[in-house]
Amino acid sequence: MIEATSGHPDSLGPITAGVPKKFKKHKASKHDAVTKAGVAETAAAPAAEFSFNLKPHQIAKHLDRFVIGQREAKKVLSVALCDHFQHVRMTTEGLSAPFYQKQNVLLLGPTGVGKTHLIRSAAEMIGVPFVKADATKFSETGYVGGDVDDLVRDLYRRAGNNVKTAEHGIIYLDEADKLATRGEGGGRDVSGRGVQTNLLKLMEDGDVPLVSPNDMTGQLQAAMSAMRGSGAAAPEVINTRHILFIVSGAFSGIDQIIRDRLMGMGQTKAAKLQNVDQLYQQASTADLVTYGLEPEFVGRLPVRVACHGLDADDLFDVLRKSESSLIHQYERAFAAYGIACEFKDEGLRALAALASGENTGARGLMTVCERVFRDLKFRLPNSRVKKFAVTAKLVEAPTDELKRLLKAT
Ligand SMILES: Nc1ncnc2c1ncn2[C@@H]1O[C@H](COP(=O)(O)OP(=O)(O)OP(=O)(O)O)[C@@H](O)[C@H]1O
Ligand SMILES: [Mg+2]
């Protein structure tokens, strides 16, 4: 069963919701900090044993608390995580699966619709080490930015320096679309291709040395301990055969590539009628390659799912129903000055309508709220106003409403 009901990386609570009891004792350690690869991590590092008895619908239910909509993505992610855990359980129990094919996941969809939010929320429930990194942090050589192998070494650190545990972890690579090298000069520099190439062996079956070749101190220590004879028994590499990769990105503009492909196939009329969501759902290997990803990289991501755009109704639900809703942040900010701020449904609808015009998904809500509440946040703490309601009127004309509030007290 999913146990705790509070706690989310976005909220103020602890991030242990849904983590099996035996992993909840994990205390913050140096491994929890931002890692070498410039990576923020979330999940608690477990001991060398696994305890996972969640079913896909339980993971999806947990995600429902924070992420509005995205049913298909929740379904795919929940199944992928459960499959991974069952596979880990079986291999740790000594039941080998010689023909097991890794179900690495590619999550795509427009900006601000919950791709990162989904994985971040799922990370709470993960009982194996989990590492998140932005693809933009890596460069081909590893001298500038980060080396992709560092991801695996980060996983090892997250696993309490336990190679076996690290070998069953999950690596989440966000902003993968930034690795694309578009032929028509619109893409990034060549390093994107290099990073993809370096990732290939990790995504399938590679060995990563525990000590980075760039880490002089580490190399020296390893050499010294080997000379003393104490290093001989320790494994020096982490094998990535069982590490699950989840990759995501907005791939902005891929809808046009998909439309062009469909039109090229003689489906001109149908293609013209399709909206962005419908197009994203049909993203194929060929489209991702045209976008600028390497075929070998795309090929190693067999599970693909698209997140849909958020309309005004979805954005209303994001504000009203999601436990990570922005309105809690505003309520807390005003409460800090002893001011009760009550969000009315009509006010939330007005905020959602404005945000939907921004075309940046739920991020539009942040932009709109910042604009609407700017003067209120500045002026009310220095006034006698102790409570106010966020109505449609306030959202449409915040300055007038502020004047009225100040006059009335
Ligand atoms: N479907 C959703 N339900 C609830 N909140 C959401 C949803 N989508 C986005 N949000 C909110 O908007 C913020 C930004 O979303 P997120 O980081 O997941 O975007 P993204 O899809 O990864 O976009 P990008 O491709 O630009 O990185 C989240 O932190 C979350 O608060
Ligand atoms: Mg994102």
For residue 369, give the ligand nearest its CA: 1
pLDDT digits (tens, 9 = 90+) for 271-292: 888 999 999 999 999 999 999 9
What pLDDT does 26 receive? 36
Q: Give the ligand 1 atom nearest the CA of 67.
A: 3
Q: The whole model's pTM is what?
A: 0.81
- Residue 185 confidence (pLDDT): 41
Tell me the C-alpha distance between 278 and 162, whole Å: 44
CA gap 164, 126 in Å, rounded: 16
Residues 6+ apart with CB under 8 A from 285: 295, 298, 299
116: Cβ below 6 Å to ligand 1?
A: yes
- Of ligand 1's listed atoms, the one at least distance from the Cα of 177 is 25
- Please give the pLDDT value at position 151: 92
Asked if residues 56 and 173 have their Cβ atoms less than 8 Å apart, the reply is no
Provide the pLDDT for residue 146.
63
Residues of the chain with CATH 3.40.50.300: 21-306
| φ/ψ (deg, to 5) at 188 | -80, -175
Residue with CA nearest ligand 1 atom 7: 114
Q: Judge residue 219's burial from the number of C-beta atoms within 10 Å of its C-beta, 0-12 exposed, 13-18 middle, 19 or more buried.
A: middle
Regions of the chain with pLDDT less than 50:
1-48, 143, 183-187
Q: Ligand 2: distance of its center to the CA of 98 in Å?
A: 34
Q: Which ligand is nearest to the CA of 120?
A: 1
Taking the centre of ligand 2 as the mean of its atom positions, its distance from the CA of residue 295, in whole angstroms, is 23
Nearest CA to ligand 1 atom 26: 111
Domain 312-408: give its CATH architecture. Orthogonal Bundle (1.10)
> How many Cα atoms within 13 Å fall on the side-chain side of residue 242?
23
Which residue puts its alpha carbon closest to atom 24 of ligand 1?
111
Q: What's the CATH superfamily of 21-306? A: P-loop containing nucleotide triphosphate hydrolases (3.40.50.300)
Residue range(s) in the chain whose domain bears CATH number 1.10.8.60 = 312-408
